[in-house]
Structures are given as C-alpha cells and as structure tokens.
Structure 1
Amino acid sequence: MSQALAPGGVHVRAPGKLNLFFEVGGVQEDGYHDVASAYQAVSLFEDVWATHSDEFSVSISGTVEVSGVPADDRNLAVRAARLLAQRIGYSGGVHLDIVKHVPVAGGMGGGSADAAAALVACDALWGADLGGAELHKLAARLGADVPFALMGGTAIGTGRGDQLNPALAKGRFDWVVLPSDDGLSTPEVYAHLDELRGRPDIVAAPSVPEVAPAVLHALRAGDPVALAEHTSNDLQIAALSLRPELRDALELGEGSGALAGLVSGSGPTLAFLTADPESALELQITLSAAGFEALHVHGPVAGARVVGA
C-alpha cells in the first residue's frame, strides 16, 4: 500500500438512520439480542474531515449537544480509524474533525455514522482502496449500526442487525423527528425490555425476529400510509417506561397530522411519519410552536460518501 496518497484532507458525510420496524428477540447467553430491523437512512448527517497526523486524535463540534461524546480512544470513529490502520499496516495516524448533526444517544445512529465516515475517509486519505465488502467487514466489528451507515438507503438487518440486505424503497418518505438533549443508554433500554417481558401483560420475545412482510410491501410501493399501519419498535415500551414524558409528545404528534409516531431505535428521539413534504412542514410548525425542537428529514439517502477535501 502506498501511504498518504491524499495530499490534504478528506471530507466524508454519513447519514443518521431511523428504524421503521424493529423486532427484538430474547436475550442470548452472551447478553446480546437477535433483531430484525427495517433501516432507513435519512437526511440528517454527520460530517467528518480526516487529515494526516502522526497520532490518532479527534475534535468534536456540532449543532447538537456534544459534551457527552468522548474525544479520546473511546470514540467510535477513532476506533474505526485505528482498526483500518491495523488492517492495512499503516504506521501513521489521523486527525478526525467531527461535526455532529445527529442527536447524541438518540437512537439515530450518530456515533455509528461517525465510525462509517471515518472508515471511508481514512481509506481514501491513506490510499488503501479496500472496497465496500472489506470496509463492511471492518464496520461489523465496530457495532451493529455501522455497516448500515456505510450502505445507506433502506435495508433489512437481521442477526445483531449487521447482516444487511438492501430493500427496495420507491419514492421518498418524509419524517419529523424530535431529538432530546438527554440521551438514553442502549444497553439500559434492552435490559429494561427484558425485565418488562417478564410481566404477564407484556408480549413475549419472538423466537425468531422478522420484519413484517407488509412493511416491505409498503416500502416497495412508496406508500407512507401503508407503512404507518405496520411500523413498530419493540424497544418503544422500554424507552417510554424509562421516559414517561415522551408519551405526551408522541400523542401530540399523532394527534397533529402524523400518520404514525414511534421511538427511534432505543430512543429517546421520536420520529413521526407524514404523508408528504407539505404535511411534514405543517407538523414541524405545530410541534415547534408547542416548544419542541422539530426537524424535518426525508429518506432514503445514500450512505457514507466522500464529498470533498
């Protein structure tokens, strides 16, 4: 491999995601869960600039609260850069400048998008040219959502969520998302779901999680009304139990024109599906007037891509 082929820096943009459907199996012996998810990449992006350095370092800023994001080797993007360097035998380092727009610990995969962007950026910066399949393997070692941030679009994830198959999604789906400055711990939400499933009034875990066929049909048809009838998230009951105040926001959105509302991933970000861009704008205005930070996003969009130096 020829080191340092990119003379300056590389800018990569990677999307956040929504889980349009998320079914969670029972806890395994290793503490993890098998899942079945319909992912959609949406137009809320993370920007990562990679520049040559002797060491591995990171700086973090953004339009969202970033004080809780680690700026050391615990950062998933730094781990991604180190993993790639180890894979290709690169002896130098990199400085990553991350500008975040995806809510932190909000269930939209912002950290995973950072890691995917770091893989793509360092691959270009160092002239590795590993190719998508090899980058996907590295991404899967970093976390279940990282491979999807590489892929983008709409996909079905099984296993731990990292076994991906592209899903045909016709047209555009418009969403209004309500982020929260106070994140939720993904392991805590999963653990609470396991506790709740021990109660007789809570539906037990499926033996084999799978995405409902009606979700795939709605995506192929580009039909948000049909999708709204079948979108769901098994983690929602746990997230709402941990954050009961989210129920009021969900009810407001669903009563103000949304086709459906749900917790995004492990939460606490809420996502409302709308019929079209005009309906999304109206809902955004309504929720903003009620005191919420409301963002209009759409999907599907592309995965991590180089956008310039």
Structure 2
Amino acid sequence: MTESRWYSTSPPAKLNLFLELLARRDDGFHELDTVMIAIDWRDELRVRRTSKPGVQLSVDWSAGRESIAKELQVTDDHELLLVPTDDKNLVVRALNRLTQTLNLDGGWEVQLNKNIPSGAGMGGASSDAASALRLGWEAAYETSSATFSPLKHEMLPLLAAEIGSDVPFFLGELESERDVECAQATGRGEKLSFFTLANPLHAVVIYPAASVSTAQVYSHCQVPDSPQSSNDLVRALQGIRAESEFSLHNALQAPARGLSSRIDPALECLSKAGLTHCRMTGSGSACFALADSSQQAAIAAETLRSTFPGGALIRPVVSCVVPSEIHIA
C-alpha cells in the first residue's frame, strides 16, 4: 500500500456541567445523567497510513515538557507528564480497532502534541481517541479500494463507545454534521442528545498538580435515593429558561475531595476570584468556574496563577464545537 497524506485536527477538552448517578449497572459501570460541553483547551493530533503494521505513536507536550513541569511545580520526569505510547493510550486502541474493523493492511504513524492534562476529568484521552478514529477513517478511505464511506455514521460511534464512555461525545453529531458544543448524555455517557448553546460559555479551569483515579472515585460514591435531573440546565443552556436558573452539579465531587487534598483549594480560589458556579469536572481533579466574558476569564486566570497555592495549569477557556475541523497536508 502507499502512504496516505497527513490528516490533522485539534481535539478539544470537555467540562461536565452536570453529572448525576442514576443507578449501578451489572457491568460495573453507572447509569449517568450528565451534560458535557466542549472547550478550546486542545491537543494536536496528526495521523497517516503507512505500510508498516501497528501504530507508531510519538508524544510530546506542545509547550515543552520543561514549561509544563514548571507550571505544575514538578520534575520533568514526573508521572503527571508521562503519556503512554503503547496500547494503554486510547489513540493506539482506536486505530488498532479501526484496522481490524475495516480489515486494513499496513499501519499508522501518529504524532500527538499534548496540552490537555491526564487524570483531570477533562476527557483529553477520549478526545484524542475520537479524533484518531475520524482521521484514521479519512486516511483509510484515501488509500483503500474498499467502499465503506456509507458506514461511517454507523461504525464510528460503535467503535467510540467500545473504546471509552466519553469518546462518542467528541465525534459530535455525525449524521447531521451540524455544529454543536454540548450534549446531554445517559447510559455510561455514550447515549447522546446534542444541542447548540444559546450563548458561548466562558470559564476558568484549574488543574492542580494531582491526578485522581476514576475507578477509585466511583468506588467511593453512592447512588442517591432521589437523583437530580439535568433537564432544567439543558433548557437554560438552550435559552428556553433564564440563565439565572443555572444549577450545576457533580455527584463525584464529594468522593473525589476525599481522595485528593488539591481539589478544595482549587474550588476555593475560583470562588475568591469572583467567578461563579465553581465545580469539579468529571471525576477530577480539574475544577472550573464560569465567567461573564472572555475578558473576565483572562483576568481571573492571570490572578489565580499568582495566588493559587502550589503548582497548577490554569487556563481561560470558552465553549467550542465538536468535532474539530480536519486538515490534510
């Protein structure tokens, strides 16, 4: 086979504006009611097909390992900066599954530049995997004689759900191909109802220098007798109800706070910075708060960089659409 051109995109992170536990499932997961929004804290991913079997993945930090280590106040070889390049990386799993599903010859060369931290609850690995599926599909279509394009809208969501619960969100709404920033999700998080925001959401995100195990957080949580519903929040985000009725929620925040001493300081600093709706995202450890504008978010982020106790990645962000645009070179 011939090598394909390079396909590239910028996988975004996500924030959970709402996350409730509805029930414990027989497969060990939980039934969720969650609202996810894509934000412009992005990785960079490039993929091309090669004649060599397997996935050859190289990973670096876009800002440089030393720069990120300085922000986090850790050493250059700290575990927070280590990103696997084998099948522990969801990009590798995604492309291997795509190869098997489409019965492709050869393999893949992949370059991943990280900005989104791991163990943050921001879905960075899931977003990278979703982008790898999209890029891999396009590259395979370029170099394969098989006709599988009509199956794209059916197969990619199935593969995404198999790889991880958050992965389908980052594919966006493939069937309509409209621009969407947000989704209400149920099941493990893979059953999605996408919608468009009435107004952009601005926020500041703090990732303290600590990751939290998703499995441990879930093992310490309990399903409430009367779960909250995200329906009112969804209507407010769509402009059907007043934004003053925003009510954010994360059922995983309390157990995560018990597992990491870094979460409470992040929430407290966000609140003191004059921001609103301070919450943890996903299973942590990243926390966020909403701002009225990009200017307020930028000013608050700059203030927090000088006042937050200890190392952290602190970024002003804004909602963005999924999926990200694909470029070919």
TM-score above 0.5, yes or no: yes
In the alignment, which residue of structure 2 is the partner of 1:200? none
Check if 1:274 corresponds to 2:295: no
| Displacement of 1:46 | 1.9
In the alignment, which residue of structure 2 is the partner of 1:61? 60
Taking the aligned partners of 1:246 and 1:172, their CA distance within structure 2 comes to: 26
Residues 17-60 of structure 1 show CA distances to partners (whole Å, capped at 9, x for unaligned) of 00010001333232210101101001011211112331222111
2:19 touches 2:35 (CA, 8 Å); kept in 1? Answer: yes
Residue 7 of structure 2: which of 10, 15, 22 is its match? Answer: 10
Taking the aligned partners of 1:222 and 1:16, their CA distance within structure 2 comes to: 26
AA of the residue aligned to 2:12: P
Taking the aligned partners of 1:181 and 1:31, their CA distance within structure 2 comes to: 29
Taking the aligned partners of 2:162 and 2:155, their CA distance within structure 1 comes to: 11
In the alignment, which residue of structure 2 is the partner of 1:251? 268
What secondary structure sits across from 2:237 in the alignment? helix
In the alignment, which residue of structure 1 is the partner of 2:42? 45
What secondary structure sits across from 1:239 in the alignment? helix
The change in CA–CA distance for 1:26 and 1:236 in structure 2 (over 3 A counts) is: same
What secondary structure sits across from 1:177 in the alignment? strand
Check if 1:89 corresponds to 2:99: no
1:169 touches 1:222 (CA, 8 Å); kept in 2? Answer: no
Check if 1:214 corresponds to 2:232: yes
Aligned residues: 295
| Displacement of 1:307 | 2.6
Taking the aligned partners of 2:313 and 2:101, their CA distance within structure 1 comes to: 41
1:50 touches 1:118 (CA, 8 Å); kept in 2? Answer: yes
| Displacement of 1:289 | 1.6
Taking the aligned partners of 2:241 and 2:307, their CA distance within structure 1 comes to: 29
| Displacement of 1:306 | 1.0
In the alignment, which residue of structure 2 is the partner of 1:72? 86
| Displacement of 1:279 | 1.6
| Displacement of 1:157 | 0.6
Residues 226-273 of structure 1 show CA distances to partners (whole Å, capped at 9, x for unaligned) of 36x401100000111111332122112112211111111000001111
| Displacement of 1:223 | 8.4
| Displacement of 1:210 | 6.1
The sequence identity of aligned pairs, in percent, is 28
AA of the residue aligned to 2:238: R
What secondary structure sits across from 2:11 in the alignment? strand
User: What RMSD in Å do the two structures reach over aligned CA positions?
Assistant: 2.2
Taking the aligned partners of 1:212 and 1:8, their CA distance within structure 2 comes to: 43
AA of the residue aligned to 1:74: K
In the alignment, which residue of structure 1 is the partner of 2:136? 122
AA of the residue aligned to 1:30: D
Taking the aligned partners of 1:97 and 1:211, their CA distance within structure 2 comes to: 40
Correspondence list, 1:213-232, <5 A: 213-221=231-239, 225-226=243-244, 229-232=246-249
Check if 1:155 corresponds to 2:159: no
What secondary structure sits across from 1:73 in the alignment? coil
Taking the aligned partners of 1:304 and 1:245, their CA distance within structure 2 comes to: 32
Taking the aligned partners of 1:59 and 1:244, their CA distance within structure 2 comes to: 33
2:43 touches 2:112 (CA, 8 Å); kept in 1? Answer: yes
AA of the residue aligned to 1:88: L
In the alignment, which residue of structure 2 is the partner of 1:145? 166
Check if 1:34 corresponds to 2:31: yes
Structure 2: segments with no counterpart, 5+ residues:
70-79, 142-147, 173-179
In the alignment, which residue of structure 1 is the partner of 2:199? 171
In the alignment, which residue of structure 1 is the partner of 2:175? none
| Displacement of 1:303 | 1.6
The change in CA–CA distance for 1:82 and 1:304 in structure 2 (over 3 A counts) is: farther
The change in CA–CA distance for 1:305 and 1:210 in structure 2 (over 3 A counts) is: farther
Compare 258-267 and 288-297 and name the one that shifted more.
288-297
Structure 1: segments with no counterpart, 5+ residues:
198-203
Taking the aligned partners of 1:295 and 1:222, their CA distance within structure 2 comes to: 29
1:52 touches 1:94 (CA, 8 Å); kept in 2? Answer: yes
What secondary structure sits across from 1:119 in the alignment? helix
AA of the residue aligned to 1:154: C
Taking the aligned partners of 1:16 and 1:205, their CA distance within structure 2 comes to: 28
TM-score normalised by length of structure 1: 0.88
| Displacement of 1:224 | 9.0
| Displacement of 1:185 | 1.0
Taking the aligned partners of 1:100 and 1:294, their CA distance within structure 2 comes to: 15
| Displacement of 1:288 | 1.1
| Displacement of 1:94 | 0.3
The change in CA–CA distance for 1:181 and 1:88 in structure 2 (over 3 A counts) is: same
The change in CA–CA distance for 1:30 and 1:131 in structure 2 (over 3 A counts) is: closer
